Amino acid sequence: MTEANTLPTTRDEDWRYADSAFLGAADAEALNSWQVIGVPAGETSQITSCYPDTQDGAGKVERFRVHVGKGGRFEAFFVIAGGSYTRVEVEVTLDDGAHFEFGGVTIGGGNKTQEFVTRCIHAQPNGTSNQTVRAVQWGKSSGNFLGRIEVARDAQKTDAAQNFRALLLEKGASANTKPELEIFADDVKCAHGAAIGALDESAGFYMAARGLPPEIARKLLLQAFIGDAFAALEDDALRESLMEAALGQLDKAAL
């Protein structure tokens, strides 16, 4: 992690996909400030947020540092839809039996750089974590996910999972992902998976053959795709508002 009051650059491993123009002009103090959240033992805490279009050229870095007490649960669900550069970082430390649930969607076009960076520290035994990130990009945008899972030496019976999938709707769009697993315990489960691809053409033809115009077919497919990230969000109204915020970006896209 970068020391306070010095600016990171894209030479830093954790910032390698960041927008260098944004970093060059950023305010070091603002960039290095963290929102601190404590989840008491046995309790559940949740944050959801959509980062919408900011004014031209504006960017945003949001950083959360979370500690989850014994048997507690922390859930975070985000949509990154806008801003030339948007980065959401979550660092979570889990005590005995605590759970971290993370769902993130990046969706956008133009020259946007949209990224999630997570660091999940399984500090004690029996902790579980599940992270699902979906990226939908077009234009020359990029959607990134850097996910680090650290399992301490005595954090036995840790069960951690991480999954990233990206759909690139046009040539020129990109996605980057870097799973990092640092495991010092020997009785743990850590799963990670990543896939980057284009929309399924055979599904598109099948849907068209049933009468669906391409824009509706695409919306249905993307709805299903990004829905994975919010499958664990139990509040229907919240889930729908995040889905709408994400899918609303498609209407602005000239695809």
Smallest separation (angstroms) from other proteins to the CB of 88: 24
Smallest separation (angstroms) from other proteins to the CB of 94: 29
Looking at the Cβ atoms of 13 and 200, the one nearer to other proteins is 200
CA dist., res. 127 & res. 183, Å (int): 13
Smallest separation (angstroms) from other proteins to the CB of 226: 9
Smallest separation (angstroms) from other proteins to the CB of 93: 33
Looking at the Cβ atoms of 83 and 104, the one nearer to other proteins is 104
Looking at the Cβ atoms of 28 and 199, the one nearer to other proteins is 199
Looking at the Cβ atoms of 4 and 220, the one nearer to other proteins is 220
Short-list 87, 78, 90, CA closest to 113: 87
CA dist., res. 96 & res. 248, Å (int): 40
User: Residue 254 corresponds to which tokens in the numbers above?
Assistant: 């000239």
Smallest separation (angstroms) from other proteins to the CB of 224: 2
The contact set with other proteins (CB under 8 A) reads: 200-203, 205-214, 216, 220-221, 223-225, 227-228
Looking at the Cβ atoms of 183 and 221, the one nearer to other proteins is 221
Looking at the Cβ atoms of 187 and 211, the one nearer to other proteins is 211
- β-pairing verdict for 85-94 and 59-68: parallel
Smallest separation (angstroms) from other proteins to the CB of 169: 16
In angstroms and rounded to an integer, the radius of gyration of the C-alpha atoms of the chain is 18
